[in-house]
Amino acid sequence: MARKFRVLQIGGKDYGPHFEENKNTDWDYLDPNVFSDFSEYTHAVKDTIYVHGKFDFILVQTAYSEGLMCTLEIASQPYTTYIDQRFWNDQFESHPLVHQRIIRPLDYEDLNDLYEKLKSVTFSGQYGDKVSPKFCVVNPAFNGEAHYVGNKAIELKGNFGETMTPILSWQKNLFYDEGKVIQIWPEFTLTGSVEVEFVFRLISKGSIDTVVDEFVMHHTELTTPLEIPRRTHDAYIVLSARAKGEGSFHMRAVHKRWSRLEMGQFILGGQRYTDKNRDEFIHYFNPGDMKPPLNVYFSGYRSAEGFEGFFMMNRFKAPFILIGDPRIEGGAFYLGSEEYEQAIKQVIQDGLNRLGFNRDELILSGLSMGSFGALYYGAQLNPAGIVVGKPLINVGTVAENMPLLRPEDFGTALDVLLKNESGLEKSDVERLNRKFWHKVEKADFSNTTFAIAYMEHDDYDMRAFEMLLPVMTRQHARIMSRGVPGRHNDDSSTITSWFVNFYNIILESRFGRVTQRAK
């Protein structure tokens, strides 16, 4: 049974009755007025946390007091606590706990707007998926060129006419989930004078033609995702597009996510970045105990969109950043435009600045696809440590190995090769590989500890560890390694166990942190 989303309301009128019909939300209400002092109140909060676990969301509707802040120090976690706008003041603004736990004011227009916001964000888990461009169907009346670019895009070139004319429909629909605000983000680029309108129609589940609502969005309106308001029934989201003008229309995936409104992407506190090509990555910063080091975790391949590694990184109790790549089928190895890659480095640097840390108080980490991100950006940031499992570094070779070594397995690598080099020739493979080695060969790893758990018979990137070792040795880096028998997707549990153990060794030996080793 899925864990319920736990909400604590402090003060105000109890909103719990409005959530009784929601079986996935557990609402606790504490009225400060019934306690003789806040110490009693704090004990009550401690007791309920001990019995039922931590709260996922805290709504405060009472005035600032030191007693309240003592209670929030026990009950709150980063991004989970909101102070009703009516009570927010300079005392909250300046309190150290507010900065450490990233406590924020909750703005709303009226009581109904407040209820709607609370109902829209108080749910467990995260979810996102996408519709691939391979499901696009081109209007037969279009006289221009149309072709698929692997599974990553469909490209249309030519004259689309002087008025908005239907150009694309999708054979596969997105699903609208009951009770959620649904976020839609189409990936596309245009050249010339081409303009595009996207049409999103909500069709009632169980019907083929009952249109509940329709959203028509000109491409200039989609600088941020479309958010479809919360409804009390499931539905399908039927996609189509119209175009006019002359030039090219490069259509990639259309993403769908559960929204948490202005409170975060996927999870409370999650953020997203997009460059001018609508390439995207997601990131989340958690200040932990605000003591070194800052641990950065790059997500591995994920066809379901969202953050990976939260609970693992949270158990270290140290500050951490999660970074995810939702492009293509399950990620594009964190490679992109200069703007895109600079933004990833800036997110990490901003985290260091926020904590007052130096780069020798930074650890980068990742598994499989995430290992590429950790090593690639580690070569540019010179961190204290790089912890990786199942390293993939020669992305061009990973794509090249597919036809003979891994038939029909991990075709995403071919799309990554196409995306970065616009071809599948040997020269494209070598050029993509060189992107990694160009950064690594210029790096200074003399103060970096590497911890690498690798598969001895890896069928994705067979020589990854073998090629890394002499480079690290030449630069006098410290190296810990563990080989595990098997191919790339074999024995993930052992690799993850070594990944966590290596992390703990570095945290203990280099930063003096007391940790609990994985068994």
Per-residue pLDDT for 288 more than 50?
yes
Which has the minimum average pLDDT: 307-316, 415-424, 446-455?
Answer: 415-424
More confident call, 87 vs 404: 87
Per-residue pLDDT band for 320 (boundaries 50, 70, 90) equals very high
Domain shared by 273 and 332, yes or no = yes
Do 169 and 199 fall into the same domain?
yes
Residue 518, pLDDT above cutoff 50: no
Other beta carbons less than 10 A from residue 139's beta carbon? 17
pLDDT in tens, 115-164: 999 999 999 999 999 999 999 999 999 999 999 999 999 999 999 999 99
Tokens of 491: 């024995």
Confidence of residue 244 (pLDDT cuts 50, 70, 90): very high
- d(C-alpha 372, C-alpha 133), whole Å: 26
Neighbours of 162 (CB within 10 A): 9
Residue 32 has a pLDDT of 84
Average pLDDT over residues 495-502: 95
SS3 (DSSP) at 50: helix
Tokens of 382: 């010179």
- Out of 16-25, 186-195, 451-460, 482-491, least confident range: 16-25
Of 312, 274, 363, the C-alpha closest to 283 is 274
Query: Phi and psi at residue 249, in whole multiples of 5°?
Result: -130, 110
Q: Which residues pair with 353 in a beta bridge?
A: none
Closest CA to 81 of 99, 104, 100, 65: 104
63 and 175 co-located in one domain? no
CATH code of the domain covering residue 197: 2.60.120
In this structure, the answer to whether residues 249 and 291 fall within a common structural domain is no
Under 8 Å between Cβ of 480 and 510: no
* Residues 154, 77 within the same domain: no
53-108 pLDDT, tens digit per residue, is: 899 999 999 999 988 999 999 999 999 999 999 999 999 999 999 999 999 999 99
Examine residue 62 and state whether it is found in any structural domain, yes or no.
yes
Task: Specify the pairing of strand 195-204 against strand 271-274.
Answer: unpaired
Mean pLDDT computed over 322-334 = 95
Residue 70 and residue 160 share a domain = no
Q: Are residues 50 and 105 in the same domain?
A: yes
Q: How confident is the model over 177-227, as pLDDT tens digits? A: 999 999 999 999 999 999 999 999 999 887 767 888 999 999 999 999 999
Helix axes 426-441, 464-474, angle to 10 degrees: 30
Residue 66 makes CB contacts below 8 A (sequence gap 6+) with 38
- Please state the domain count of the chain: 3
Q: Are 365 and 222 in the same domain?
A: no
Nearest to 450 by CA among 465, 438, 437, 435: 465
Q: pLDDT value at position 412?
A: 83
CB proximity list for 412: less than 8 A, separation 6 or greater: 301, 328, 329, 330, 331, 332
pTM strictly above 0.75: yes
Asked whether residue 470 carries a pLDDT value surpassing 70, the answer given is yes
pLDDT band at 248 (very low <50, low <70, confident <90, very high): very high
**What pLDDT digit, counting tens, does each position of 32-41 carry?**
887 767 777 7
Q: What is the CATH number of the domain that holds 497?
A: 3.40.50.1820
Crossing angle of helices 369-381 and 426-441, in 10° steps, is 40
Domain finish residue from 212, 228, 257: 257
Arithmetic mean of pLDDT, 425-448:
94
Instruction: Tell me the β-bridge partners of 297.
Output: 322, 365
Q: Say if strands 153-159 and 211-218 run parallel, antiparallel, or are unpaired.
A: unpaired
| Helix 369-381 and helix 338-355, axial crossing angle in degrees, nearest 10 | 70
Question: Does pLDDT of 517 surpass 70?
Answer: no
pLDDT-derived band of residue 519, with 50, 70 and 90 as boundaries? very low
Last-in-domain residue among 75, 101, 121 = 121
Residues 480 and 406 in one domain: yes
Which residues constitute the domain of residue 26? 5-121
49 and 154 fall within a common domain: no
What's the token pair of residue 130? 């996408």
CA distances (Å), origin 67, targets 32, 403, 441: 10, 65, 55
Q: Give residue-wise pLDDT tens across range 472-481.
A: 999 889 999 9
- As a whole number of angstroms, the distance between CA 487 and CA 459 comes to 6
Give the CATH number for residue 9. Answer: 3.40.50
| Same domain as 459, residue 391 | yes
The predicted pLDDT at position 516 comes to 62
Query: What is the percent of the chain where pLDDT is above 90?
Result: 83
Using pLDDT thresholds of 50, 70 and 90, give the confidence band for residue 22.
confident
Q: Residue 261 has what DSSP assignment?
A: G
Same domain, 81 and 139: no
Give the pLDDT band of residue 47 (cuts 50, 70, 90).
confident
What's the pLDDT at 429? 93
Could you tell me if 381 and 312 are in contact, meaning their C-beta atoms sit under 8 angstroms apart? no
DSSP class of 18: G
- Structure token digits, residue 444: 């200074």
Residue 484 lies in a domain: yes
* Lowest mean pLDDT, pick from 144-148, 202-206, 283-287, 373-377: 202-206
Sign of CA dihedral 403, 485, 470, 391: positive
**Of 257, 285, 305, which one is at a domain's C-terminal end?**
257
> How far is residue 351's CA from residue 286's CA, in Å, rounded to a whole number?
9
Residue 516 inside a domain? The answer is no
Residue type, 159: N
Structure tokens at 249: 């229309």
DSSP 279-297: -EEEEEEE-TTS-SPEEEE
pLDDT at 413 > cutoff 90: no
| Helical spans, DSSP H, in 1-124 | 38-52, 66-75, 90-94, 96-100, 111-121
pLDDT surpasses 80 at 326: yes
What is the sign of the dihedral through the CA atoms of 51, 56, 59 and 63?
Answer: positive
Answer yes or no: is 519 within a domain.
no
* Distance (Å, whole) CA 421 – CA 439: 17
